[in-house]
Structure 1
């Protein structure tokens, strides 16, 4: 893999840290700002909404800029927004700064994935995308546990200040390490949106929203579960957060390889395994041995399928790779917002702290059902394509040709 991929990984590390560190600090933030834990959970959804809105809009706005310049500007915005979070005077200000911090998330990871895919031969695209996403998983191994521990010991504001520094350093390293990128070829926005409206692309996005909404439903409220039910202190919570990160890292590595060989069976198997892991955690949350095992499995099973889905979407929307890749991260953060919202609603209804994990298991089961529909749609599209003379497959609704390497 080209060394410049590590610069993209570092940028993803900073973004992943700020996305997930709040989940380890909800009790502290809620107590300091005088709100309930479910209300503090809206800070997770606020960031996610920023990603959902910012990913497509910034991807379109930056489509005429050199990619290196655009990626550097996105990280600059990210660092500034996290600095604002560190000094936010109240709940509403923090919610607004979290929204701003989410705006560059999807565009950076989306365009970064396209740049990564351009750097390698076609048969290694899955591994290149996995390398970028590994920054998110490494954030869960190191950035999130350390940030949560820092926030618990010194105050939650220090966690966001640390993230702002990570973002600034990542921007400088990226500027120094990433080779100059050619200006992307102009693609009409209407054409890009038409590509994203293909039924198979929309189905794949739906799998992301429901399948991985399950992970976020449980993980958003992991800190109060571990403290109130499992009985862990600050250090124990940080260790379990690191276990989640270890699971996501292992899942991303395995998923990158399986995405290049058997993406659809991988999606079926590990979306189902995610639903089972969430159900297991709901049952075992009070056990200090089994609860960490369940957290590890949630991270591992969920992230195995992530790279397969991203690779499949890029193939189905190959004429608009930048917008499609940004759209993937919008879909993941719709999942984030949906999971946090439904998990918090279950707690507010008095169903207990294990209820978000059960909500997550149900969401992931829906994601598995949608994945099966996507696979059936693929088989039908392939059968139709095989019956159509060469050169006419683009005229057949839903037909998908084997995708070349993603290019800009």
Structure 2
């Protein structure tokens, strides 16, 4: 399927040329919650470990358990619900997510907490699998890039404010209040979705390909490989940013580093919204190259406070826009089966996050935190090479 016809069905429900901004913002807020909920343990490692009487490495598995739930459940869940109307399915998934997160907030047992994180990740995967195609389906076809950028701004906001805010709340009160606050916010956003997000019909049965055929659509495999490699590079150092900063002895705290990164990522989202519809391929190459360069600076400039903060800015600008960029490519490659194609996105995304929790912990057993920057630079360079490998099959020039 060519890029000229790839969005024929998914844009069919849009009306006129006006973007449904309130609806897209509501979807973005769900993205904020998903990212903050998944990554919050990274900013609360010492607090959760002390409160539950366990190690920071074990708490790192809170992220991995969430990711594992997404990896295992998303594809079969999306496959079984392709005939469901989108809005009721989204609201059901949000309700399940809120409840599972509330259980984490009150649990006193590590094993039970890991189980609740697994369940929350399962519901998260269903939501991530819907969001990109949903945003495009309710928006004008010619403005799909802008629609995706608006919807995707929730993710960098989660990185910018969700995780640092959770760390601040954990330090000021108790880490459990950070999780409880996200559940309360989830209830409010669910109400907003109920009020302002239009429903969208499921893809007609006649156009639905089996999942194994969707996975083989031109461009889909290379996009998923890039997501895994890039997310592994990002999440390994993001999850264990505290050990890296301790090794640098710059005095930079995790909450400051994550805040700088997150604010810079908003710039990345803004740049993506401006250029995605016109220069998707060049934008992706530039993002991957800048990400790899940030990793190199974290290696060679580790003793300099200024260099580490500059690297955080470059890291945020480069990585902030990757979600809409890759979702746009995957949605176009999926065409009429964009929902099914996007169901593989959170699987790839969270397979990398799951691996990052284990990979990062393994690296820290053989070296100090600076080795995490080496992994970021090496995997970032590999990502850049893969974007060039996919130039003809997955990433169009315009």
Is TM-score (shorter-chain normalized) higher than 0.5?
yes
Superposition pairs for residues 40-55 of structure 1, below 5 Å?
A: 40-55=59-74
Equivalence for 1:358? 374
Alignment length (residue pairs): 378
Work out the CA distance in 2 between the residues paired with 1:15 and 1:331.
Answer: 16
Computed over aligned residues only, the root mean square deviation of the Cα atoms, in angstroms, reads 2.2
Match of 1:160 among 161, 179, 189: 179
Partner of 1:194: 213
Q: Does 1:276 align with 2:286?
A: no
| Cα distance between partner residues in 1 of 2:373 and 2:119 | 28
8 Å CA contact 1:271–1:368 kept in 2: the answer is yes
Structure-2-length-normalised TM-score: 0.88
CA distance in 2 between counterparts of 1:97 and 1:287 reads 40
1:277 Cα deviation from its structure 2 partner: 0.5
1:39-78 matched pairs, under 5 angstroms? 39-78=58-97
Q: Contact 1:106–1:327 (CA<8 Å) still a contact in 2?
A: no
Counterpart-to-counterpart distance in 1, 2:37 and 2:146: 24
Name 1:219's counterpart in structure 2. Answer: 238
**Displacement of 1:377:** 4.3
Q: CA deviation at 1:306?
A: 3.0
SS, match of residue 278 in structure 2 = coil
- Counterpart for residue 315 of structure 1: 332
> 2:310 pairs with 286, 289, 293, which one?
293
> SS of the residue aligned with 1:375?
coil
In structure 1, C-alpha distance between the alignment counterparts of 2:51 and 2:365, rounded to whole Å: 20
1:126 and 2:108 correspond = no
CA distance in 1, matches of 2:97, 2:38: 11
Aligned to 1:5, which of 18, 24, 39?
24
CA distance in 1, matches of 2:115, 2:161: 26
Shift of 1:131: 1.3
Report what 2:349 is aligned to: 332
* Structure 1: segments with no counterpart, 5+ residues: 383-401, 403-408
Aligned match of 1:388: none
Counterpart contact for 1:212–1:302, Cα < 8 Å: no
CA contact 1:249–1:300 (8 Å) conserved in 2: yes
Specify the alignment match of 1:99 in structure 2: 118
Residue 98 of structure 2 corresponds to 79
Pair 1:169–1:359, CA change in 2 (3 A):
same
- Of 174-183 and 130-139, the range deviating more from structure 2: 174-183
Q: Structure 2 vs 1, CA of residues 179 and 199 (structure 1 numbering), >3 Å: closer, same or farther?
A: closer
Q: TM-score, normalised by structure 1?
A: 0.86
Secondary structure in 2 aligned to 1:179? coil
Q: Which residue of 2 aligns with 1:24?
A: 43
Deviates more, 1:15-24 or 1:276-285: 276-285
How far did residue 199 of structure 1 move? 5.2
Structure 2: tracts of 5 or more residues without a match = 1-18
Aligned counterparts of 2:53 and 2:314: Cα–Cα separation in 1: 34
Match of 1:35 among 54, 58, 64: 54
Bigger mean CA deviation after superposition, 74-83 or 106-115? 106-115
1:302 to 302, 308, 319: 319
Instruction: Return the alpha-carbon distance in structure 2 between the equivalents of residues 151 and 186 of structure 1.
Output: 48
SS at match of 2:232: helix
Structure 2 CA distance, aligned partners of 1:360 and 1:341? 15
Moved more, 203-212 or 282-291: 282-291
- Partner Cα separation in structure 2 for residue 58 and residue 45 of structure 1: 20
Question: Where in structure 2 are the equivalents of 1:132-281 lying within 5 Å?
Answer: 132-186=151-205, 191-198=210-217, 200-226=219-245, 229-230=248-249, 232=251, 236-281=253-298
Secondary structure of the residue that 2:288 maps to in structure 1?
helix
